[in-house]
Amino acid sequence: MTNSLAINSLAIQIEVPIACFRQSRAREYAETYPVPPPSTVYGMLLSMVGETDRYKHCGVELAIALLSEPEKSTVIRTFRRFKKKDIHDPTNARPDYQELLTNTEFIVWVKPGTDAAKPNLLERLQNAFTHPEKIDRFGGLSLGESRDLVNAVKLWSGSFNKQPRWLVQDEDGTLALPYWVDHVGSQGTRWRRYLLREQTQTHPPEQAWTIIQTE
């Protein structure tokens, strides 16, 4: 696969020095997923093009291949949980443990799917690489939490220099990852089961594609 703008998919390589892809059901101990969930990657792509409406490009399809084996560590940090209306109330803040991943490197493939926006997300990402001066966005580009800044984002060269591990859908997979997150409550969050599979092919296997949608 190449990154020609004439094709109907795009492969983007991402490097993040430190990140936490917090498990949705984690409470006092903030565990991390070993790979960024499709919902998190989708949010990063929206940020790249300056889109604040996460419903805008529903229907787009993503495929993820992990290139690194991130090292996991645990830190203690202050978390805020709003139990009192006064945001500055000291009971709203408490120290808890959080897992971090160091050196996360992956490739995300993007294809339009049923994304009906004009232009669609694929076209907007292509434009971000060819005409970055035309992109209107704000803040640093992060993956997950706002402090977890992306170190590098570039078009994939078309060949692997490391063994890829594809995130593929599997009903018996050990990873239950969200592809859509309900930020108000958990009722609207949507999940699929995945596993990481080593394959050297340079295009995503069919099971690697995830549709970003609310259902």
CATH, residue 156? 3.30.70.2660
In a domain, residue 132? The reply is yes
H or E element that contains 179: strand 175-180
Question: 68 or 2: which carries more pLDDT confidence?
Answer: 68
Lowest mean pLDDT among 46-60, 71-85, 138-152: 71-85
The rounded radius of gyration (Å) of the Cα atoms in the chain is: 18
- CB atoms under 10 Å from CB of 133, counted, come to 4
Q: Let me know the angle formed at the C-alpha of 25 by 19 and 29, rounded to the nearest 5 degrees.
A: 60
Is a pLDDT exceeding 90 seen at residue 89? no
Is a pLDDT exceeding 50 seen at residue 71? yes
> pTM of the full predicted structure?
0.86
In a domain, residue 85? The reply is no
Q: What is the pLDDT at residue 203?
A: 92
Q: Into how many domains does the chain fold?
A: 1
Closest-CA residue to 62 (of 84, 40, 92): 40
Residue 82 near residue 103, CB atoms below 8 Å: no
Average pLDDT, the chain: 87
Mean pLDDT computed over 47-71: 96
Q: What is the pLDDT at residue 127?
A: 96
In a domain, residue 206? The reply is yes
Is a pLDDT exceeding 90 seen at residue 60? yes
Mean pLDDT computed over 31-43: 95
In a domain, residue 195? The reply is yes
In a domain, residue 126? The reply is yes
In a domain, residue 94? The reply is no
Is a pLDDT exceeding 50 seen at residue 2? no
For residue 135, what are the domain limits? 10-70+102-211
In a domain, residue 167? The reply is yes
